[in-house]
């Protein structure tokens, strides 16, 4: 079934009453790239009933009009400033906030106080320190008291706290790829503590749907460009925080990672490689065994065998992360390659995976494991 057919066939459920185990869902920022991906995936979720959605640009219009793939849906879009009380009255139990960074933090408590659980897909609650938030994003956090309440939702690594969370901070797309590639080594104590070097290529949808010169087709259609290189990218704040939280050799005061992201002419996807210096010599079989063992129970992480390397086309449209491991520098350095769809595993899919954990359902409930056709 194609993506558009799946959404169109399920959109009519938005106006039906919840039945059985269906849970009322609301999406803030429903017509951005991530919000639209949430709508697509929730339409196929067996336990989701879309009760409310919002859009600053399209308020008052039918969802099917703003997102033509939703043909048949009659849900009318609210403004992004929708009142939490009205959503609760419509049966919304969980809110996915897919708003721009800084747009939701001040309103989060109102949704929580109205009795809803929240999965926030922006950067607003990923960092536990208000000072670090200001350093990374140049803003004073409007709700610093909530920072320590939020659970950082890198699903494969967040463990038991996620089950009882009221507020989940969905990781950034780059952070998801980098951390799934790095944390097994750190947690095992193999990392030497020296500088980690990471490079990544990303599709243009990672910059959001709002038009800008940097993402104009003429600017990106026939070239590739690095940006926010070295230690400048804001996702490094959450990456360092997560690495410190699992480090076998504690305490680690500072995690140094040099990160070089690049924008490339494709719509979606991230492929990254991470070079991790080791404190001991390891063989490739041991390294692959470490990753295979750590992700053995993770349905959306696939550790590739042999000479295979991850490619974005083999994860496009899926909630999967493909990883490959290589040992270089005479066993003293590990190269880990990762590929994800930035809109699915890097955003909307992981948010729903986290919601599945909140509800006590299997991670894979309603989420695509297979990629779209590679052509």
Q: Which residues are the active-site residues?
A: 173
Count of residues for the chain? 375
Radius of gyration of the chain (CA): 20
Contact, 284 vs 325, CB < 8 A? Answer: yes
Q: Three-state SS string across 175-241, please?
A: HHHHHHHHHHHHHHCCECCCCEEEEEEECHHHHCCCCCHHHCHHHHCCCCEECCCECCCCHHHHHHH
Give dist(CA 298, CA 149) in Å, integer: 25
Beta-sheet pairing, 167-169 with 196-202: unpaired
Integer Cα distance of 256 and 300 in angstroms: 28
Phi, psi torsion values for 120, nearest 5 degrees: -100, 125
Q: Cα(172)–Cα(346) distance, rounded to whole angstroms?
A: 6
Q: Where are the alpha helices (DSSP H) in the chain?
A: 3-10, 33-43, 63-66, 84-89, 108-113, 130-137, 155-158, 173-188, 217-220, 235-246, 284-294, 349-359
Nearest to 338 by CA among 170, 210, 174: 174
- Token pair listed for 162: 């996620």
Q: What is the largest CA-CA distance in the chain?
A: 62
CB atoms within 10 A of CB 199: 16
In this structure, the strands spanning 321-328 and 301-303 are parallel
Residues 6+ apart with CB under 8 A from 42: 25, 27, 48, 50, 352, 366
Block residue for tokens 């699915």: 344
């Amino acid at each position: 079934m194609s993506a558009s057919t799946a959404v169109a066939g399920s959109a009519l459920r938005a106006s039906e009453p919840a039945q059985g185990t269906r849970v009322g869902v609301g999406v803030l920022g429903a017509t951005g790239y991530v919000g639209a991906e949430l709508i697509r995936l929730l339409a196929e979720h067996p336990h989701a009933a879309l009760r409310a959605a919002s859009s600053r640009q399209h308020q008052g219009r039918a969802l099917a009009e703003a997102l033509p793939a939703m043909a048949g849906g009659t849900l009318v879009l609210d403004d992004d400033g929708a009142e939490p009380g009205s959503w609760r009255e419509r049966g919304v139990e969980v809110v996915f906030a897919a708003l721009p960074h800084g747009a939701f933090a001040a309103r989060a408590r109102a949704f929580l106080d109205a009795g809803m659980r929240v999965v926030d897909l922006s950067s607003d609650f990923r960092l536990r320190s208000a000072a670090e938030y200001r350093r990374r994003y140049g803003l004073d956090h409007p709700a610093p008291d909530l920072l320590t309440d939020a659970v950082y939702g890198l699903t494969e690594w967040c463990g038991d706290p996620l089950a009882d969370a009221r507020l989940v901070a969905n990781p950034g797309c780059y952070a998801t790829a980098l951390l799934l590639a790095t944390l097994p080594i750190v947690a095992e104590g193999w990392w030497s503590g020296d500088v980690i070097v990471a490079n990544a290529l990303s599709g243009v949808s990672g910059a959001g749907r709002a038009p800008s010169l940097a993402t104009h087709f003429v600017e990106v259609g026939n070239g590739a460009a690095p940006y926010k290189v070295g230690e400048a990218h804001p996702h490094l704040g959450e990456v360092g925080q997560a690495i410190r939280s699992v480090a076998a050799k504690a305490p680690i005061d500072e995690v140094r990672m040099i990160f070089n992201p690049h924008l490339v002419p494709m719509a979606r996807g991230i492929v990254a490689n991470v070079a991790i210096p080791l404190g001991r010599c390891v063989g490739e079989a041991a390294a692959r065994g470490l990753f295979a063992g750590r992700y053995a129970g993770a349905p959306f992480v696939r550790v590739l065998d042999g000479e295979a390397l991850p490619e974005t086309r083999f994860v496009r449209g899926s909630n999967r992360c493909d990883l490959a491991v290589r040992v270089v520098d005479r066993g003293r350095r590990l190269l880990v390659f990762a590929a994800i769809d930035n809109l699915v595993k890097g955003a909307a899919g992981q948010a729903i995976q986290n919601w599945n954990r909140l509800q006590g359902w299997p991670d894979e409930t309603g989420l695509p494991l297979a990629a779209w056709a590679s052509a």
